[in-house]
Structure 1
């Protein structure tokens, strides 16, 4: 069977039509591979065993329509002495519409700093016991309409600085124990901001003292999406609306939409008012 040169550092496979990836994918002889992108496989129900690639830092998986779970087969040889994904820093799942659950055991993904689950409409479950990722600094969950819970034991994510939760309407509470005290940036839909009971006192990097609106006075960035009244309330043509801006004027960066163009417009409006 044909296979690429083992000196490759980057692999991108698009639109693979088979039901199983060839055996060379994931072989630890490809010890130089740093970046892998797999996209558009309609028929593979299992991801290839990539966990034993010693140099892999970036893994992007998108549009795998038959994958429902990510488990042991993904991590590779269970008898290997080396922990799976020993160098992995960035892991992205995107548009995997039947992907339901992510499995992760102690010792796996110890170097992971960025995890994104984007537009996985059937996703319902993080690993039992929570994410064991001591270096995770950025967690993004977007458009997962069946997901009801954030990972358990989030306080154990001692390096987490940024958390994004958007278009996940069934999430109504934060995990028992709250969020890690390291958190300094929160992006969330407006209705969830109001629905979830927040304990700002447990988040010293978001809060020194509370402002009139309940937002931390040390909050450096606020992005609110999914609120159709924002444009009306913050219409700069209406002089009466300046009072609303004053209530959030202590926040340096404020965004009002998930669309990049509208966020930029929203920032420009705030700067014009002050």
Structure 2
């Protein structure tokens, strides 16, 4: 299935959930949804089309789920400079994140669940000073975290995955003063 090209005329659309559809591709006019703030989808695509995703510059939340064939996220994701939340789960073939994530300067939250082949998080995540929470669960092949990730206030890693992170030497915990 494919969305009609006319879908791109919904320029005032702000929230879109196209999860659990059988969409095989996104029309190029999908990039015309310049006011879209929330996008949630699952897709049989192997890669997100850069010419579409990179134009959704008002996006605040991108949630990608149950995308069995997705092997990579596009470098165009780096153009989403207003993105605050990136949530990726049940993408078993996703192996890494693109270096373009370094441009996600507003990103506050990264959640990655059940990405069975994810081996690395881009080192670029560590340079994102707005990042407040990183949550990783059930990513058994992920062998390391980016250098500098210890500057993120909240890092949650599924206990079963801790055995794979041999580079973790200490875990900081904020201490509250009782005075």
Give the TM-score band, short-chain normalised.
0.7 to 0.9
Report the structure, 1 or 2, having the larger helix content.
Answer: 2
What are the equivalent positions in structure 2 for 1:102-141 lying under 5 Å apart?
102-105=73-76, 108-141=79-112
Q: Would you say how many aligned residue pairs link Structure 1 and Structure 2?
A: 175
TM-score calculated relative to the size of structure 1: 0.58
1:68: which partner in 2? 46
2:172: which partner in 1? 216
Identify which of 173, 190, 194 aligns with 2:159.
190
Provide the alpha-carbon RMSD of the alignment.
2.4
Preserved CA contact (<8 Å) 2:116 2:138: yes
Distance 1:74 1:186, change over 3 A: same
**Structure 1 unmatched ranges of 5 or more:** 1-17, 76-82, 200-213, 221-249, 251-274
Distance 1:180 1:187, change over 3 A: closer
**Structure 2 unmatched ranges of 5 or more:** none
Preserved CA contact (<8 Å) 1:110 1:134: yes
2:5 counterpart of 1:26: no
What do residues 64-103 of structure 1 show as CA deviations (whole Å, max 9, x unaligned)? 2x2110122423xxxxxxx722210000011111111101
Is the partner of 2:24 in helix, strand or coil? coil
Distance 1:96 1:131, change over 3 A: farther
TM-score calculated relative to the size of structure 2: 0.85
Is the partner of 1:26 in helix, strand or coil? helix
Query: Considering only CA atoms, is the larger Rg found in Structure 1 or Structure 2?
Result: 1
